[in-house]
Amino acid sequence: MRTLFHSIPHTHPLYYVALLATVAAGIGILALLQALPTRLRRPLIALVTFLGGLYYAAEFFIPTGWGVHKGVDGNFLSPYFDKVANISSVLGSFSIGLGVFSLIGMHLRIASRRRESWGFSLMLLISFVAMTIFTLLNEYAGKSVVIPSVAGHSSITNHDIYVVLFNGGLASLDSAMFALIGFFIISASYRAFRIRSVEATLLMASAIIVMLGQVTLGSWLTGGLPSHGPLAFFRFENMSEYILVHLNAPAQRAVTFGLALGVLATSLRLWLSLERGLYFDQE
């Protein structure tokens, strides 16, 4: 398939015909799978999941150098790593359409039925169409397509509008949302630091020490203490380091161990379809 696409130039209509045929075939296969009865679908999914996982497990455990010429990295399965990874990318790309369909469908219904806050839905639809058009133009039609103006002469190109939409709109709105975190941190820390229990008191004390240990005010406050010897520990920067390295880091590592084992166990259950009762029906 890859050779077929490589042999046809991108500008040739046959390229797009082949592309559409491939997408149609993919949709056909998915529809066929959907039409299968559950008792057939279940072992098929289990088999595909097992084979998919088996490749990665085998590729990891088979020693390097097996089945390959000297000097080549990995084993005989390694050269297919990117191709196998591409399969999941292709499957994932089919679902993008599903997500976009869900999003557009919902907002079209809200806007057309004039439900509550329908203006936001209309705004989303307009932004979606504008962003799609100008991103595609920017990508495929070059950056200097002059946009005709009602007033006559125009020097605005498609790239100018793309930049306004992307940098002026999307990136600025992203930054605004990110900036909101600052305000939310204040309200969340006010609640967390209210001294209501021993735990909250400990949290408050350690937070103050760590914060002061990171700023020059902390160094200035305890600057009179010696930099060596037992009293040096009580300098804010040293107490802060002690909390972060000796108390916080081990706790974080313990959490990481637990999470990693959780991932390992869940992966094993999914790979071997031990958990299939949860996704299809009750065991």
Partner 1 sequence: MEHASDHWSIGIFVAVLSIIILYKIVTAQRGKPPTIRRIAGLNAIDEAVGRATEMGRPILMVPGIGGLDIPALQALNIFGYIGRSVARFGNRTILAVADPQLVGVGEEVIRDAYTSAGRPELFNAEDVRFLSDRQFAFASGVAGVIEREKVAASFLMGAFFAESLIIAEVGQRVGAIQVAATNQFTQLPFFIATCDYVLLGDEFYAASAYLSKNPTLLGSIVGQDYAKLLILIVVILGTLSACGVLMLPAGHVHDLLQRFMDLFKS
Q: Which helix (H) or strand (E) holds 139?
A: helix 118-140
Judged by CB under 8 A, the stretch of 14-22, 168-176, 208-216, 221-229 that binds partner 1 is: 168-176
Looking at the Cβ atoms of 19 and 278, the one nearer to partner 1 is 278
What mask, x for binding partner 1 by CB under 8 A, covers residues 171 to 200? --xx--xx-xx--xx-xxx-xx--------
Distance CA 192, CA 121 (A): 36
Smallest distance from the beta carbon of 263 to partner 1, in angstroms? 5
Looking at the Cβ atoms of 46 and 270, the one nearer to partner 1 is 270
Among 108, 152, 161, which residue's Cα sits nearest to residue 131? 161
Smallest distance from the beta carbon of 268 to partner 1, in angstroms? 6
Burial class (CB in 10 A: 0-12, 13-18, 19+), 134: buried
Distance CA 243, CA 45 (A): 48
Looking at the Cβ atoms of 145 and 200, the one nearer to partner 1 is 200
Looking at the Cβ atoms of 136 and 221, the one nearer to partner 1 is 136
Given CA atoms 80, 83, 87, 89 in this order, what sign does their dihedral have?
positive
What mask, x for binding partner 1 by CB under 8 A, covers residues 69 to 98? ----xxx--x--x----------x--xxxx
CB 233 within 8 A of CB 242: yes
Question: Scanning residues 39 to 68, which ones bind partner 1 (CB under 8 A)?
Answer: 59-65
What mask, x for binding partner 1 by CB under 8 A, covers residues 230 to 259? ----------------------x-xxxxxx
CB 41 within 8 A of CB 283: no
Distance CA 128, CA 121 (A): 10
Residue 259 CB neighbour total at 10 angstroms:
10
The reply on whether position 19 binds partner 1 by CB under 8 A is: no
Distance CA 182, CA 175 (A): 12
> Which residue in 19, 87, 106, 141 binds partner 1 (CB under 8 A)?
106
CB 156 within 8 A of CB 149: yes
Residue 267 CB neighbour total at 10 angstroms:
13
Looking at the Cβ atoms of 74 and 218, the one nearer to partner 1 is 74
Question: Scanning residues 112 to 131, which ones bind partner 1 (CB under 8 A)?
Answer: 116-117, 120
- Residue ranges binding partner 1 (CB under 8 A): 59-65, 73-75, 78, 81, 92, 95-100, 102-103, 106, 109, 116-117, 120, 170, 173-174, 177-178, 180-181, 184-185, 187-189, 191-192, 252, 254-259, 261-270, 272, 274-275, 277-279, 282-283
